[in-house]
Structure 1
Amino acid sequence: MATSILSRKRDLTYFTYFCIAVPMAFIVDLQPLYPHSMIPAWMQSITDYYIDTYNDLFFIGTPPPFFEFFMYTEMFVQVPVMIWGISALLRDSKMVPLVLLPFACLVFISTATCMYEMVHWDVPLKQRLTLIMLYGPYTALPAFIGTDMFLRLTAMINSSSTPALETSGKKNQ
Protein backbone atom coordinates (compact mmCIF):
# COMPACT_ATOMS: atom_id res chain seq x y z
CA MET A 1 0.00 0.00 0.00
CA ALA A 2 1.22 3.50 -0.85
CA THR A 3 2.42 5.80 1.88
CA SER A 4 -0.07 8.63 2.44
CA ILE A 5 0.79 11.82 0.61
CA LEU A 6 0.20 13.67 3.88
CA SER A 7 3.33 12.05 5.29
CA ARG A 8 5.39 12.86 2.17
CA LYS A 9 5.79 16.64 2.55
CA ARG A 10 7.73 17.27 -0.66
CA ASP A 11 5.24 15.24 -2.70
CA LEU A 12 2.39 17.08 -1.01
CA THR A 13 4.02 20.37 -2.08
CA TYR A 14 4.31 19.15 -5.68
CA PHE A 15 0.73 17.85 -5.61
CA THR A 16 -0.54 21.22 -4.36
CA TYR A 17 1.51 23.07 -6.98
CA PHE A 18 0.06 20.89 -9.76
CA CYS A 19 -3.50 21.33 -8.48
CA ILE A 20 -3.05 25.11 -8.67
CA ALA A 21 -0.95 25.25 -11.86
CA VAL A 22 -3.23 23.15 -14.09
CA PRO A 23 -6.27 25.44 -13.87
CA MET A 24 -4.05 28.54 -14.04
CA ALA A 25 -2.49 27.21 -17.24
CA PHE A 26 -5.89 26.90 -18.90
CA ILE A 27 -7.28 30.15 -17.49
CA VAL A 28 -4.29 32.49 -18.01
CA ASP A 29 -1.12 31.03 -19.51
CA LEU A 30 -2.61 29.30 -22.55
CA GLN A 31 -5.28 31.88 -23.29
CA PRO A 32 -3.30 33.49 -26.14
CA LEU A 33 -3.54 30.18 -28.01
CA TYR A 34 -7.36 30.06 -27.90
CA PRO A 35 -9.53 31.51 -30.65
CA HIS A 36 -10.72 34.86 -29.25
CA SER A 37 -14.37 33.89 -29.79
CA MET A 38 -13.90 30.89 -27.47
CA ILE A 39 -12.67 32.89 -24.46
CA PRO A 40 -15.44 33.45 -21.90
CA ALA A 41 -15.78 36.98 -20.50
CA TRP A 42 -14.81 35.90 -16.96
CA MET A 43 -11.56 34.40 -18.27
CA GLN A 44 -10.77 37.49 -20.36
CA SER A 45 -11.38 39.68 -17.30
CA ILE A 46 -8.78 37.69 -15.32
CA THR A 47 -6.23 38.18 -18.09
CA ASP A 48 -7.15 41.86 -18.41
CA TYR A 49 -6.62 42.27 -14.66
CA TYR A 50 -3.24 40.51 -14.90
CA ILE A 51 -2.13 42.74 -17.79
CA ASP A 52 -3.39 45.92 -16.10
CA THR A 53 -1.72 44.99 -12.81
CA TYR A 54 1.63 43.61 -14.02
CA ASN A 55 1.98 44.96 -17.58
CA ASP A 56 3.56 41.63 -18.60
CA LEU A 57 4.81 42.25 -22.14
CA PHE A 58 4.52 38.55 -22.96
CA PHE A 59 0.73 39.00 -22.87
CA ILE A 60 0.61 42.36 -24.65
CA GLY A 61 0.79 42.40 -28.43
CA THR A 62 2.63 39.66 -30.27
CA PRO A 63 4.86 37.58 -27.98
CA PRO A 64 8.33 36.56 -29.14
CA PRO A 65 8.44 33.25 -31.05
CA PHE A 66 10.16 31.43 -28.17
CA PHE A 67 7.31 32.40 -25.82
CA GLU A 68 4.72 30.94 -28.18
CA PHE A 69 6.81 27.76 -28.34
CA PHE A 70 6.89 27.67 -24.53
CA MET A 71 3.08 27.99 -24.47
CA TYR A 72 2.84 24.94 -26.73
CA THR A 73 5.20 22.99 -24.48
CA GLU A 74 3.01 23.99 -21.56
CA MET A 75 -0.10 22.78 -23.37
CA PHE A 76 1.28 19.53 -24.76
CA VAL A 77 3.92 18.53 -22.20
CA GLN A 78 3.62 20.38 -18.90
CA VAL A 79 -0.15 20.22 -18.41
CA PRO A 80 -0.41 16.50 -19.28
CA VAL A 81 2.51 15.70 -16.97
CA MET A 82 0.95 17.73 -14.14
CA ILE A 83 -2.40 15.98 -14.61
CA TRP A 84 -0.62 12.62 -14.55
CA GLY A 85 1.48 13.80 -11.61
CA ILE A 86 -1.55 14.59 -9.45
CA SER A 87 -2.67 10.98 -9.63
CA ALA A 88 0.85 9.51 -9.56
CA LEU A 89 1.81 11.48 -6.46
CA LEU A 90 -1.35 10.33 -4.69
CA ARG A 91 -0.52 6.70 -5.60
CA ASP A 92 3.17 7.16 -4.65
CA SER A 93 4.10 5.85 -8.10
CA LYS A 94 7.70 4.76 -8.55
CA MET A 95 7.62 6.48 -11.98
CA VAL A 96 7.36 9.97 -10.42
CA PRO A 97 11.11 10.75 -10.44
CA LEU A 98 11.57 9.52 -14.00
CA VAL A 99 8.73 11.69 -15.31
CA LEU A 100 9.13 14.75 -13.10
CA LEU A 101 12.87 15.22 -13.66
CA PRO A 102 12.58 16.20 -17.36
CA PHE A 103 9.36 18.08 -16.56
CA ALA A 104 11.16 20.15 -13.93
CA CYS A 105 14.05 20.85 -16.31
CA LEU A 106 11.64 22.06 -19.01
CA VAL A 107 9.70 24.32 -16.64
CA PHE A 108 12.88 25.72 -15.09
CA ILE A 109 14.52 26.48 -18.44
CA SER A 110 11.42 28.00 -20.03
CA THR A 111 10.64 30.20 -17.02
CA ALA A 112 14.27 31.23 -16.54
CA THR A 113 14.40 32.17 -20.24
CA CYS A 114 11.35 34.39 -19.80
CA MET A 115 12.88 36.01 -16.73
CA TYR A 116 16.11 36.67 -18.62
CA GLU A 117 14.12 38.32 -21.40
CA MET A 118 12.29 40.49 -18.82
CA VAL A 119 15.59 41.82 -17.49
CA HIS A 120 16.18 43.35 -20.93
CA TRP A 121 12.76 44.97 -21.34
CA ASP A 122 12.63 48.72 -21.61
CA VAL A 123 10.27 49.13 -18.65
CA PRO A 124 10.72 50.71 -15.21
CA LEU A 125 12.93 48.73 -12.83
CA LYS A 126 10.07 48.37 -10.33
CA GLN A 127 7.93 46.67 -12.98
CA ARG A 128 10.75 44.28 -13.94
CA LEU A 129 11.38 43.39 -10.30
CA THR A 130 7.67 42.78 -9.69
CA LEU A 131 7.48 40.44 -12.68
CA ILE A 132 10.68 38.65 -11.69
CA MET A 133 9.26 38.12 -8.18
CA LEU A 134 6.02 36.85 -9.76
CA TYR A 135 7.85 34.40 -12.08
CA GLY A 136 10.50 33.53 -9.49
CA PRO A 137 8.61 30.76 -7.66
CA TYR A 138 7.90 29.14 -11.05
CA THR A 139 11.67 28.89 -11.47
CA ALA A 140 12.63 28.02 -7.89
CA LEU A 141 10.09 25.22 -7.36
CA PRO A 142 10.96 23.37 -10.59
CA ALA A 143 14.66 23.68 -9.67
CA PHE A 144 13.84 22.10 -6.32
CA ILE A 145 11.66 19.41 -7.93
CA GLY A 146 14.40 18.62 -10.46
CA THR A 147 17.04 18.32 -7.75
CA ASP A 148 14.76 16.14 -5.63
CA MET A 149 13.91 13.86 -8.57
CA PHE A 150 17.59 13.58 -9.54
CA LEU A 151 18.48 12.57 -5.99
CA ARG A 152 15.62 10.05 -5.89
CA LEU A 153 16.72 8.49 -9.17
CA THR A 154 20.32 8.39 -7.99
CA ALA A 155 19.27 6.63 -4.78
CA MET A 156 17.17 4.14 -6.77
CA ILE A 157 20.06 3.37 -9.11
CA ASN A 158 22.57 3.08 -6.27
CA SER A 159 20.31 0.78 -4.27
CA SER A 160 19.60 -1.52 -7.20
CA SER A 161 21.48 -4.77 -7.52
CA THR A 162 24.84 -4.29 -9.24
CA PRO A 163 26.17 -7.88 -9.62
CA ALA A 164 24.43 -8.21 -12.98
CA LEU A 165 26.17 -5.07 -14.20
CA GLU A 166 29.54 -6.24 -12.90
CA THR A 167 29.12 -9.68 -14.49
CA SER A 168 28.08 -8.28 -17.88
CA GLY A 169 31.03 -5.87 -17.76
CA LYS A 170 33.48 -8.75 -17.22
CA LYS A 171 32.08 -10.62 -20.22
CA ASN A 172 32.84 -7.65 -22.46
CA GLN A 173 36.48 -7.39 -21.36
Structure 2
Amino acid sequence: MATSIFTRKLDLGYLIYFLTHIPIMFLMDLQALYPTHLTPSFLATIKTYYISTYHDIFFISPPIYFKLFIWLELLVHVPVSFWAVGGLLRDSPYTPLILLPYALEVFLTTLVCIHEYLYWPIPLSQKIDLTTLYGPYILLSIIMFIDMFIRLSHIISSSPSTSSSTSTSTSAHKSDKNNKNGKKTKKIN
Protein backbone atom coordinates (compact mmCIF):
# COMPACT_ATOMS: atom_id res chain seq x y z
CA MET A 1 0.00 0.00 0.00
CA ALA A 2 1.23 3.51 -0.84
CA THR A 3 2.49 5.78 1.89
CA SER A 4 0.06 8.65 2.48
CA ILE A 5 0.80 11.79 0.50
CA PHE A 6 0.39 13.76 3.75
CA THR A 7 3.45 12.06 5.24
CA ARG A 8 5.56 12.82 2.15
CA LYS A 9 5.95 16.61 2.44
CA LEU A 10 7.87 17.22 -0.79
CA ASP A 11 5.48 15.02 -2.76
CA LEU A 12 2.57 16.94 -1.26
CA GLY A 13 4.19 20.19 -2.42
CA TYR A 14 4.68 18.74 -5.91
CA LEU A 15 1.05 17.57 -5.97
CA ILE A 16 -0.19 21.07 -5.07
CA TYR A 17 2.07 22.50 -7.78
CA PHE A 18 0.71 20.15 -10.46
CA LEU A 19 -2.92 20.68 -9.38
CA THR A 20 -2.49 24.45 -9.76
CA HIS A 21 -0.23 24.26 -12.83
CA ILE A 22 -2.74 22.27 -14.93
CA PRO A 23 -5.44 24.99 -15.00
CA ILE A 24 -2.82 27.74 -15.45
CA MET A 25 -1.51 25.99 -18.56
CA PHE A 26 -4.95 25.73 -20.17
CA LEU A 27 -6.25 29.12 -19.04
CA MET A 28 -3.18 31.19 -19.86
CA ASP A 29 -0.01 29.60 -21.22
CA LEU A 30 -1.46 27.49 -24.04
CA GLN A 31 -3.70 30.27 -25.42
CA ALA A 32 -1.07 30.99 -28.06
CA LEU A 33 -1.94 27.62 -29.65
CA TYR A 34 -5.71 28.03 -29.61
CA PRO A 35 -7.44 29.17 -32.81
CA THR A 36 -8.60 32.73 -32.20
CA HIS A 37 -12.17 32.03 -33.32
CA LEU A 38 -12.42 29.15 -30.81
CA THR A 39 -10.90 30.99 -27.84
CA PRO A 40 -13.58 31.90 -25.28
CA SER A 41 -13.75 35.60 -24.41
CA PHE A 42 -13.08 34.96 -20.72
CA LEU A 43 -9.64 33.57 -21.67
CA ALA A 44 -8.88 36.75 -23.59
CA THR A 45 -9.94 38.72 -20.51
CA ILE A 46 -7.57 36.70 -18.32
CA LYS A 47 -4.72 37.29 -20.77
CA THR A 48 -5.45 41.03 -20.96
CA TYR A 49 -5.51 41.28 -17.16
CA TYR A 50 -2.23 39.35 -16.90
CA ILE A 51 -0.49 41.53 -19.48
CA SER A 52 -1.72 44.79 -17.95
CA THR A 53 -0.72 43.65 -14.46
CA TYR A 54 2.68 42.08 -15.12
CA HIS A 55 3.71 43.65 -18.47
CA ASP A 56 4.98 40.23 -19.58
CA ILE A 57 6.29 40.84 -23.09
CA PHE A 58 6.36 37.08 -23.73
CA PHE A 59 2.59 37.34 -24.16
CA ILE A 60 2.69 40.62 -26.10
CA SER A 61 5.54 40.18 -28.56
CA PRO A 62 7.08 36.76 -27.93
CA PRO A 63 10.62 35.97 -29.08
CA ILE A 64 10.99 33.32 -31.76
CA TYR A 65 11.87 30.53 -29.31
CA PHE A 66 8.85 31.17 -27.08
CA LYS A 67 6.50 29.28 -29.41
CA LEU A 68 8.77 26.23 -28.95
CA PHE A 69 8.43 26.62 -25.18
CA ILE A 70 4.64 26.69 -25.53
CA TRP A 71 4.75 23.48 -27.60
CA LEU A 72 6.99 21.90 -24.94
CA GLU A 73 4.39 22.87 -22.40
CA LEU A 74 1.68 21.14 -24.42
CA LEU A 75 3.70 18.04 -25.30
CA VAL A 76 5.68 17.60 -22.05
CA HIS A 77 4.12 19.58 -19.19
CA VAL A 78 0.51 18.60 -19.85
CA PRO A 79 1.00 14.81 -19.96
CA VAL A 80 3.59 14.81 -17.15
CA SER A 81 1.36 17.00 -14.98
CA PHE A 82 -1.65 14.72 -15.36
CA TRP A 83 0.52 11.64 -14.78
CA ALA A 84 2.20 13.25 -11.75
CA VAL A 85 -1.10 13.85 -9.95
CA GLY A 86 -1.89 10.13 -9.99
CA GLY A 87 1.72 9.02 -9.65
CA LEU A 88 2.29 11.14 -6.56
CA LEU A 89 -0.98 10.05 -4.96
CA ARG A 90 -0.19 6.35 -5.41
CA ASP A 91 3.52 6.84 -4.56
CA SER A 92 4.60 5.39 -7.90
CA PRO A 93 8.17 4.07 -8.10
CA TYR A 94 8.39 5.74 -11.53
CA THR A 95 8.00 9.23 -10.05
CA PRO A 96 11.73 10.10 -9.98
CA LEU A 97 12.28 8.70 -13.46
CA ILE A 98 9.57 10.97 -14.89
CA LEU A 99 10.00 14.07 -12.73
CA LEU A 100 13.81 14.34 -12.99
CA PRO A 101 13.87 15.25 -16.72
CA TYR A 102 10.70 17.31 -16.23
CA ALA A 103 12.41 19.38 -13.52
CA LEU A 104 15.44 19.92 -15.75
CA GLU A 105 13.26 21.08 -18.65
CA VAL A 106 11.31 23.47 -16.39
CA PHE A 107 14.55 24.87 -14.98
CA LEU A 108 16.14 25.46 -18.37
CA THR A 109 13.13 27.04 -20.09
CA THR A 110 12.37 29.24 -17.09
CA LEU A 111 16.01 30.30 -16.82
CA VAL A 112 15.96 31.34 -20.48
CA CYS A 113 12.82 33.42 -19.86
CA ILE A 114 14.32 35.10 -16.79
CA HIS A 115 17.53 35.85 -18.64
CA GLU A 116 15.50 37.37 -21.47
CA TYR A 117 13.30 39.66 -19.36
CA LEU A 118 16.24 40.95 -17.34
CA TYR A 119 17.29 42.75 -20.55
CA TRP A 120 13.86 44.16 -21.40
CA PRO A 121 13.58 47.97 -21.38
CA ILE A 122 11.11 47.96 -18.48
CA PRO A 123 11.42 49.41 -14.96
CA LEU A 124 13.11 47.35 -12.25
CA SER A 125 9.80 47.12 -10.37
CA GLN A 126 8.23 45.26 -13.32
CA LYS A 127 11.22 42.89 -13.49
CA ILE A 128 10.73 42.18 -9.79
CA ASP A 129 7.02 41.50 -10.43
CA LEU A 130 7.98 39.05 -13.19
CA THR A 131 10.47 37.39 -10.87
CA THR A 132 7.69 36.77 -8.35
CA LEU A 133 5.98 34.76 -11.12
CA TYR A 134 8.95 33.01 -12.74
CA GLY A 135 11.18 32.65 -9.66
CA PRO A 136 9.11 29.97 -7.91
CA TYR A 137 9.38 27.77 -11.03
CA ILE A 138 13.18 28.00 -10.82
CA LEU A 139 13.17 27.22 -7.10
CA LEU A 140 10.71 24.34 -7.40
CA SER A 141 12.54 22.81 -10.37
CA ILE A 142 15.86 22.89 -8.49
CA ILE A 143 14.33 21.24 -5.42
CA MET A 144 12.51 18.68 -7.57
CA PHE A 145 15.63 17.88 -9.62
CA ILE A 146 17.81 17.34 -6.53
CA ASP A 147 15.09 15.30 -4.81
CA MET A 148 14.50 13.06 -7.84
CA PHE A 149 18.25 12.65 -8.43
CA ILE A 150 18.71 11.51 -4.81
CA ARG A 151 15.77 9.10 -5.11
CA LEU A 152 17.15 7.58 -8.31
CA SER A 153 20.63 7.34 -6.79
CA HIS A 154 19.21 5.42 -3.81
CA ILE A 155 17.31 3.08 -6.11
CA ILE A 156 20.39 2.42 -8.24
CA SER A 157 22.77 1.97 -5.30
CA SER A 158 20.41 -0.39 -3.47
CA SER A 159 19.70 -2.51 -6.53
CA PRO A 160 21.03 -6.07 -6.10
CA SER A 161 22.02 -6.21 -9.76
CA THR A 162 24.20 -3.11 -9.35
CA SER A 163 26.50 -4.70 -6.79
CA SER A 164 26.66 -8.08 -8.56
CA SER A 165 27.23 -6.54 -11.98
CA THR A 166 30.00 -4.39 -10.53
CA SER A 167 31.79 -7.40 -9.05
CA THR A 168 31.23 -9.44 -12.23
CA SER A 169 32.55 -6.59 -14.32
CA THR A 170 35.60 -6.24 -12.07
CA SER A 171 36.30 -9.99 -12.24
CA ALA A 172 35.96 -9.99 -16.02
CA HIS A 173 38.30 -6.99 -16.26
CA LYS A 174 40.93 -8.74 -14.10
CA SER A 175 40.58 -11.90 -16.18
CA ASP A 176 41.04 -9.94 -19.42
CA LYS A 177 44.07 -8.15 -17.97
CA ASN A 178 45.67 -11.46 -16.92
CA ASN A 179 45.06 -12.95 -20.36
CA LYS A 180 46.70 -9.94 -22.03
CA ASN A 181 49.77 -10.44 -19.82
CA GLY A 182 50.04 -14.07 -20.96
CA LYS A 183 48.88 -15.56 -17.67
CA LYS A 184 46.46 -18.42 -17.53
CA THR A 185 43.31 -17.85 -15.55
CA LYS A 186 41.69 -20.46 -13.45
CA LYS A 187 37.96 -20.88 -13.95
CA ILE A 188 36.07 -21.27 -10.70
CA ASN A 189 32.87 -23.28 -10.86
TM-score (norm 1): 0.96
Unaligned runs of 5+ in 2: 177-189
Where do 4+ consecutive residues of structure 1 move more than 3 Å?
A: none
Larger CA Rg, structure 1 vs 2: 2
Partner Cα distance (1:76, 1:104) in 2: 15
Question: Who is 2:21 aligned against?
Answer: 21
Question: Who is 1:106 aligned against?
Answer: 105
Using the TM superposition, give the Cα deviation of residue 150 of structure 1 relative to its aligned residue in structure 2, in angstroms: 0.4
Amino acid corresponding to residue 32 of structure 1 in structure 2: A
In 2, are the aligned partners of 1:105 and 1:142 still within 8 Å (CA)? yes
The range that moved more, 128-137 or 145-154, is 128-137
Using the TM superposition, give the Cα deviation of residue 58 of structure 1 relative to its aligned residue in structure 2, in angstroms: 0.3
- Per-residue Cα deviation, 1:103-145 (whole angstroms, up to 9, x for no partner): 0000010011100000000111111111112110011101110
Question: Who is 1:154 aligned against?
Answer: 153
Question: Who is 2:75 aligned against?
Answer: 76
Partner Cα distance (2:143, 2:41) in 1: 36
- Per-residue Cα deviation, 1:23-65 (whole angstroms, up to 9, x for no partner): 100110111111111111111111110011011000003x112
The structure whose RCO (Cα within 8 Å, separation 6+) is larger is: 1
Using the TM superposition, give the Cα deviation of residue 171 of structure 1 relative to its aligned residue in structure 2, in angstroms: 2.3
Question: Who is 2:179 aligned against?
Answer: none
Using the TM superposition, give the Cα deviation of residue 72 of structure 1 relative to its aligned residue in structure 2, in angstroms: 0.5
Partner Cα distance (2:146, 2:77) in 1: 18
Unaligned runs of 5+ in 1: none
Partner Cα distance (2:34, 2:40) in 1: 11
In percent, how many aligned pairs have the same letter?
45
In 2, are the aligned partners of 1:54 and 1:130 still within 8 Å (CA)? yes
What is the root-mean-square deviation in Å for CA atoms of aligned residues?
Answer: 1.1
Using the TM superposition, give the Cα deviation of residue 164 of structure 1 relative to its aligned residue in structure 2, in angstroms: 3.0
Using the TM superposition, give the Cα deviation of residue 169 of structure 1 relative to its aligned residue in structure 2, in angstroms: 3.8
TM-score (norm 2): 0.88
Partner Cα distance (2:151, 2:28) in 1: 32
In 2, are the aligned partners of 1:118 and 1:132 still within 8 Å (CA)? no
Question: Who is 1:97 aligned against?
Answer: 96
Q: What SS does the corresponding residue of 1:150 show, helix, strand or coil?
A: helix
Partner Cα distance (2:170, 2:81) in 1: 38
Using the TM superposition, give the Cα deviation of residue 170 of structure 1 relative to its aligned residue in structure 2, in angstroms: 2.0
